[in-house]
Structure 1
């Protein structure tokens, strides 16, 4: 009798090979989106840093005839006072990005601390998570307006208000990661050898959560920029600082929508706000897909 040796079955249409191809396509798609977001963010940061060099005029000085349309001398035209709008956009990039980045960093710090405490200490965690739930269920826009009106109009107050409103999602993500780490063997071994809570959190837990916190920071920057623009557009931002939102506020207050000037006074800051939010959102999405353990496993 002749023994028949069969070859290993090849993966079928629904086997491992299509799954690998789908995973590779997903990674390539994520990388492409992250690259687009990175280019947008890097461009905006470069504009903000080089604002004195790139701006053709001082944004506070009258540089031309009021309501001048775009021309070689004024690429985005002028406003009702004759100030160069391109210079305003360039200098406004500094304020909008600075407020967004600093507010997101403050929110990341608060959320990381609350998430570490909430995940590592069960009793304190229950109280901390109730605070997170309260922040998440509060009506967002009314609270934003009330806090801004009560605290006053300044850059510092704007940063504080935005950080207060956006730290809760970071706390929930960090807490979930800490809960998954609390029962690991090396954590239990460190505690059994007498390591204190502070040492365990600093040496073993915090390094495992920092990448997640950075991803949350990048994603939160997108929302922080939108919030700063919203406050400035409502007239609740710092009146002495030129930002994209304040440009929209003055355009609305001075009747730009009633004249053809809205085309070069309103559209450019609106597009810059959209591009900045999109850039940080895409970069945050790509980072989250790479570093979030749950998303990476799936």
Structure 2
């Protein structure tokens, strides 16, 4: 008599495994919808190439070419087979400067955006969740920063504090968070008006549980979209401050290249090759981040996706 063995039963999935499975499924769904936007995919590809080149710059190029005392070419040399984008007023390769300048511009843009979005998210969530005098104080502080021109305040901070990348990041991040705070506050108020928040509080959920388990997971997609759009503004702000001579004098960025070109008369000398590469680099990166941000906004905002489908 033969006995049949039943296959081993599948162990029950824990709540954590179910949560992560749902998150992976949601991420896959977002990616499929994002891939249908040609502009967003093109922006993502361009960003990937630029970030890869910036990361590989130390391995693919010789950093000594950035030293003015070791400039390999003649000043103001036009583009040629040896120097594809010509040379600057010291004889350094403009291609090398542009390549290395991408590192600083991307680093400052991303770091300043993380600082700005972090401050704005904390302020917005706290103002909406706690209410009362906490909300009043935080909203008054937010209104104060909204009234002040962010570029002027960044200029003041960059002038008062020692010059360096940290100062630029701090100046941009501290002055550009109010819009994120108001956006996150509005989204948090919408989330906390839902019935499951009341059930969570009735079951004994404290502030940390409500914010960490319910509010932040619902707000983070909007914060992520706002981050991609804020990076573009941060890169423009860094380029503006560096163009005005308030950047890190020891590092090459696209803004500092434009400042140097203007300071040494590249326009009067007809050295267009010193002006176009950094300017085009700023335009391309800002456009790529904007395309990615708009595509994500359409995917994660059902109302925008519905209106786009109607068009």
Counterpart selection for 2:66 from 40, 59, 72: 59
Counterpart selection for 2:153 from 139, 143, 149: 143
SS in structure 1 at match of 2:66: coil
Shift of 1:296: 4.4
In the alignment, which residue of structure 1 is the partner of 2:115? 106
Question: What is the distance in 1 between the residues matched to 2:304 and 2:184?
Answer: 14
- Structure 1 spans left out of the alignment, 5+ residues: 1-26
In the alignment, which residue of structure 2 is the partner of 1:83? 92
Contact 1:54 1:90 in 2 (8 A): no
Q: 1:178 to 1:297 in 2, by over 3 A?
A: farther
Q: 1:56 to 1:264 in 2, by over 3 A?
A: farther
Counterpart selection for 1:171 from 181, 206, 210: 181
SS in structure 1 at match of 2:72: coil
Contact 1:55 1:86 in 2 (8 A): no
- Confirm whether residue 264 of structure 1 aligns to residue 273 of structure 2: yes
Matched positions, count:
271
Contact 1:218 1:284 in 2 (8 A): yes
- Confirm whether residue 35 of structure 1 aligns to residue 44 of structure 2: no
Question: What is the distance in 2 between the residues matched to 1:102 and 1:142?
Answer: 20
Question: What is the distance in 2 between the residues matched to 1:170 and 1:40?
Answer: 26
Normalised TM-score (structure 1): 0.86
Question: What is the distance in 2 between the residues matched to 1:277 and 1:149?
Answer: 26
In the alignment, which residue of structure 1 is the partner of 2:27? none
Question: What is the distance in 2 between the residues matched to 1:69 and 1:183?
Answer: 63
Shift of 1:294: 4.9
SS in structure 2 at match of 1:257: coil
Q: 1:294 to 1:118 in 2, by over 3 A?
A: farther
In the alignment, which residue of structure 2 is the partner of 1:275? 284
Structure 1 residues 1-298: aligned runs within 5 Å: 31-55=37-61, 58-60=65-67, 61-123=70-132, 124-261=134-271, 263-292=272-301, 294-296=303-305
Instruction: Name the Cα RMSD after superposition.
Output: 1.8
In the alignment, which residue of structure 2 is the partner of 1:7? none
Shift of 1:29: 11
Question: What is the distance in 2 between the residues matched to 1:155 and 1:287?
Answer: 29
Shift of 1:130: 2.1
Greater mean alpha carbon deviation, residues 55-64 or residues 184-193: 55-64
Q: 1:95-144 CA distances to partner (integer Å, 9 max, x unpaired)?
A: 10000001101111111111111111111223212222221221233222
